[in-house]
Structure 1
Amino acid sequence: MARHKPTPVQLPPHTALPEEVVRAVGKPQGPDDDRPGRRVTVTGSLREGRRTDPGTATAHGIGGGAALVDVHFQDRATIIGVGVLELPQGGIALVDTGPEARLDALRAGLAELGHSLQDVRAILLSHIHLDHATAAGAIVREAPGAIVHVHAVGAPHMADPSRLLASAGRIYGDAMATLWGEFLPVPRASLRVVDEGDVVSLGGRRFEVGYVPGHAKHHVAYFEAATGTAWVGDVGGIRIRGGPTIPVTPPPDIDVELWKASMGRVMAWEPERIVATHFGPYRARRSHFAALSAELDAWAGWVRDSLGDSSFADDRRRAHTFSDWVTARLGEKIPEGHMALYATASGFFDSWWGLARYWRKRGAA
């Protein structure tokens, strides 16, 4: 039975299809942009971070009392966007937070909109991956009354991120701080668990919650009927500057069947537009999800076939070859200067491992 009120989180102590862009989201800015002609090394992995200007950001009004702050992740525009919702009764809510390493950029973007972190009344987390949720604890420190809405599976990790950080540290190593910053815990009293059928009321605005696993088992989406807007996190894939729509498939939760069902769950709302973290608002046409589903099938098929191919020396060689294949596949569809944006947002090398885990759990290799 659908619930109609998010419940306070209760945790045990110390629990360890192509369409028109609704709005142009701007061109690359600054000396480190990726316009054609600049030298860009595409690795398809985020395992090596680079130092960036912490305060660079761009705020884009997207209508419906909302904006998107581009935090210029890795000094590149249109990779990570933080949703900003104006609340009629005062203050703002955020949809995801971006990484804590880009918190000063978020501050700058909010300042462009006439706000500060102290104005934050709530945070709607789509899921707890580092590019979406790392700054939540730091924001709550500056806005102690802010409530963080998150799925039940993700809530314990927001209260105590130690296990999540240990796992991520094995992947990113010394690049952790540069990429993601400090993942501070969110006080349990500031957490609210949300799930399928819940309704979140924020200062005069109303958001329906949909459970949308497939990319992550703790992934939810938020729909505001009054504006026809679905905030979809990563379940809507990655689409940058009007280019093709692709998935992002890191371990450990990738499930192709569940992801496809989640696409249908979003479309059941019949939204007028979707807003993706990577990057921006698009018309919510079924062709968007048809394109994403087809690309997800293509990626999954390549990885499945690679697991049965003994000509590869090991899994790392499979992952690197997959990254090369995706790069070549995308290269036929996007301008040269956009490749680094897609590679940074999706992490092609890392995406192989998520799909490999999916197939191995099903006995495919």
Structure 2
Amino acid sequence: MFNIHTLDLNFLENQEAIASYLIETSEGPILIETGPYSTFKNLQDKLKEYGYKPEDVQHVFITHIHLDHAGAAWKFAEFGAKVYLHPFGERHMADPTKLMASAKQIYKEDMDRLWGDMKSIPTNLLHATAHEEIITIGDTEIKAWHTPGHANHHIAWQIGDNLFTGDVAGVKIENGPVVAPCPPPDINLEKWQASIDLIREISPSNLYLTHFGAVSDIESHLIALEKDLYETADIIKGYIDQGLSLPEMEDLFINHVDNALRALNLTEEMLKQYDAANPPFMSVAGLLRYWQKKLN
């Protein structure tokens, strides 16, 4: 039996938008996902509720290097923590200059409010983890599954029959729908489908989503994810076929998502949660890039 604690980072003062997972082992706590540095104080407070300080966490596992998942990893590294990640993400965590410059192009003056700072992590504290590699921390084994599709540098981490899926298993908040987050630059439907099929092969009892929480009805969840992924891709393909500009696509898709969520009678609070966890305009950019690569 594993002590898994879901830490709500209250991103942008939204509940259940970004989670970090605290797992207690015989050699101390480990953390899966750190969230952005902008929520580090919230994470610190949540750790304190379980009797821990950030410096007690000496092993950090990130599913991928996007800022909402790994933006605060450097702070734990300052306390000597080892950070486990996909080999493709290693150089960006050792030198986040390009990562942050790319994010700044998208978020501009909103960077600090959304994500906060990101500093380099010494290479000796970065562990590039191979596919199916098992990391043993005390009495706990953590297995890495490379799961591209959302990002080429994506890993799902398995502990027992629990799978911590980052974004590859989508976003689902409370009783809301399952949606596929599709930000640039690595969206690939074929790789994503292979990763979904791999999750089926692993056959976990629980999925732990970064956005947000535990899911036990695995097959229904994955079917809903596939449906949203392909429907969203088809919508963006339709915009391309119409010759629309990126701003036109964004306006149309944001309106589409808002109408679809409101049709499900989601509360205004849940609409804000979904927007914080999965901004619709990002999926337009990500799938536009996917189709441009595929069609050219």
TM-score normalised by L of structure 2: 0.97
Q: Given the alignment of the two structures, is residue 224 of structure 1 paired with residue 159 of structure 2, yes or no?
A: yes
Partner of 1:247: 180
Amino acid at match of 2:17: I
Check whether the contact 1:244–1:334 (CA below 8 A) recurs between aligned residues.
no
Q: CA deviation at 1:269?
A: 1.4
Give the alignment partner of residue 206 of structure 2, picking from 258, 261, 273: 273
Amino acid at match of 1:109: K
CA distance in 2, matches of 1:116, 1:124: 17
Amino acid at match of 2:255: D
CA distance in 2, matches of 1:111, 1:330: 35
Q: Given the alignment of the two structures, is residue 329 of structure 1 paired with residue 260 of structure 2, yes or no?
A: yes
Q: Given the alignment of the two structures, is residue 180 of structure 1 paired with residue 115 of structure 2, yes or no?
A: yes
Partner of 2:285: 353
Partner of 1:196: 131
1:99-114 matches, cutoff 5 A: 99-114=36-51
Question: What is the CA deviation profile of residues 25-50 of structure 1, one whole-angstrom value per residue up to 9, with x for unaligned ones?
Answer: xxxxxxxxxxxxxxxxxxxxxxxxxx
Question: What is the CA deviation profile of residues 11-69 of structure 1, one whole-angstrom value per residue up to 9, with x for unaligned ones?
Answer: xxxxxxxxxxxxxxxxxxxxxxxxxxxxxxxxxxxxxxxxxxxxxxxxxxxx7311011
Partner of 1:214: 149
Partner of 1:205: 140
Q: Given the alignment of the two structures, is residue 256 of structure 1 paired with residue 189 of structure 2, yes or no?
A: yes
Q: CA deviation at 1:242?
A: 2.2
Q: Given the alignment of the two structures, is residue 95 of structure 1 paired with residue 32 of structure 2, yes or no?
A: yes
CA distance in 2, matches of 1:67, 1:345: 20
Amino acid at match of 1:305: G
Q: Given the alignment of the two structures, is residue 77 of structure 1 paired with residue 15 of structure 2, yes or no?
A: yes
1:39-78 matches, cutoff 5 A: 64-78=2-16
Q: Given the alignment of the two structures, is residue 131 of structure 1 paired with residue 68 of structure 2, yes or no?
A: yes
CA distance in 2, matches of 1:177, 1:233: 23
Q: Which of these two proteins has the greater Rg computed from alpha carbons?
A: 1
Q: CA deviation at 1:344?
A: 1.4
Check whether the contact 1:272–1:283 (CA below 8 A) recurs between aligned residues.
yes
Give the alignment partner of residue 320 of structure 1, picking from 234, 240, 251: 251
Root mean square deviation, CA, Å? 1.2
Q: Which structure dedicates a bigger proportion of its chain to helix?
A: 2
Check whether the contact 2:207–2:218 (CA below 8 A) recurs between aligned residues.
no
Q: Given the alignment of the two structures, is residue 169 of structure 1 paired with residue 104 of structure 2, yes or no?
A: yes
Q: Percent identity?
A: 32
Q: Given the alignment of the two structures, is residue 341 of structure 1 paired with residue 273 of structure 2, yes or no?
A: yes
Partner of 1:11: none
Choose 155-164 or 342-351, whichever is displaced more.
342-351
| Structure 1 residue matching 2:295: 3-state secondary structure | coil
| Equivalences, count | 295
Check whether the contact 2:146–2:156 (CA below 8 A) recurs between aligned residues.
yes
| Structure 1 residue matching 2:58: 3-state secondary structure | strand
Runs of 4+ with >4 A deviation: none
Q: CA deviation at 1:105?
A: 0.5
Partner of 1:37: none
Give the alignment partner of residue 116 of structure 1, picking from 53, 59, 62: 53
| Structure 1 residue matching 2:88: 3-state secondary structure | coil
Q: CA deviation at 1:350?
A: 1.5
CA distance in 1, matches of 2:139, 2:204: 20
Question: What is the CA deviation profile of residues 171-220 of structure 1, one whole-angstrom value per residue up to 9, with x for unaligned ones?
Answer: 11111111111101111110101121111111210011111000000001
Q: CA deviation at 1:267?
A: 2.0
Q: CA deviation at 1:325?
A: 0.7
Q: CA deviation at 1:284?
A: 4.5
CA distance in 2, matches of 1:232, 1:334: 27
CA distance in 2, matches of 1:330, 1:258: 27
Check whether the contact 1:271–1:284 (CA below 8 A) recurs between aligned residues.
no
TM-score normalised by L of structure 1: 0.79
Q: CA deviation at 1:334?
A: 4.2
Give the alignment partner of residue 84 of structure 2, picking from 134, 149, 158: 149
Structure 2: tracts of 5 or more residues without a match = none
Amino acid at match of 1:87: T
Partner of 1:294: 227
Amino acid at match of 1:272: S
Structure 1: tracts of 5 or more residues without a match = 1-62
Q: CA deviation at 1:126?
A: 0.2
CA distance in 1, matches of 2:190, 2:182: 13
CA distance in 1, matches of 2:246, 2:202: 40
